[in-house]
Amino acid sequence: MKFVPDGILVTFEVTVLSIVIALVIGLFTGLGRLSSNRLVNGLASLYVEVIRGIPLLVQLFYIYYGLGRLFQLPPLTSAVAAMAICYGAYMGEIFRAGIQSIPKGQSEAARSLGMTPAQSMYHVILPQAVKTILPPVGNEFVALLKDSSLVSILAVADLLRRGREFASQSFTYFETYTMVALVYLMITLFFSKLISIMEEKIRAD
């Protein structure tokens, strides 16, 4: 069907942009959750608890329609922002858990070599934590890919939106939504297999 290629491109654009921004937010949130500074720790914890307690659909509406009263955001920008903010909270917990999984002795050894806390985190802790962090990050990527279908409510021309438009013109609703479901399934299975291979390589190392 003609709508599939264009819809897939937009779906991937939303997914990739969202996951990249979410990773950056997640890293700083995870570090904030581990900070000894009570203000930083409190703000990071508040962000995680609030965002994880609000459904993604509500966040999409809030950013597009709510913030739209202050300044107009394009649908695609609103969609990416909402998904990045939402998944950034989950990424923050993944980074926090990954960093905490590294024995404290690693940090102490780095300090004994004259490294600052920041240098210790960047050169010693984070490279080791990557092995723990990558598998759940991969799972979140797949989850975000499926959740990207929600952005169609903001008139973003993703796979589901293009499918809906095609169905309304051709009146082939069952066939169109079956095709949309199969495309999402194939993409999800592909990335799930890719993540499984990545996990096996990480374990082998």
Cβ(4)–Cβ(183) under 8 Å?
yes
Options 3.10.20.30, 1.10.3720.10, 2.60.40.1930, 3.40.50.720; CATH of 11-156: 1.10.3720.10
Residue 114, Ramachandran bin (φ over 0: left; ψ between -120 and 50: alpha; else beta): left
- pLDDT at position 96 is 92
Q: What confidence tens digit (pLDDT) does each residue in 5-42 have?
A: 778 888 889 999 999 999 999 999 999 998 889 999 99
- pLDDT at position 205 is 64
pTM of the predicted structure, to 2 decimals: 0.86
Using the structure block, give the residue that is written with the tokens 């009570």. 38
- pLDDT at position 31 is 92
Encoded amino acid at 193, one letter = K
Tell which residue, 178, 114, 113, 187, has the closest CA to residue 145: 187
d(CA 120, CA 105): 11
Low-confidence ranges of the chain (pLDDT < 70): 1-3, 203-205
Tell which residue, 89, 70, 74, 103, has the closest CA to residue 10: 74
User: Could you say which DSSP state residue 149 is in?
Assistant: G
- pLDDT at position 19 is 94
For the chain, which residues make up each domain, given as ranges? 11-156
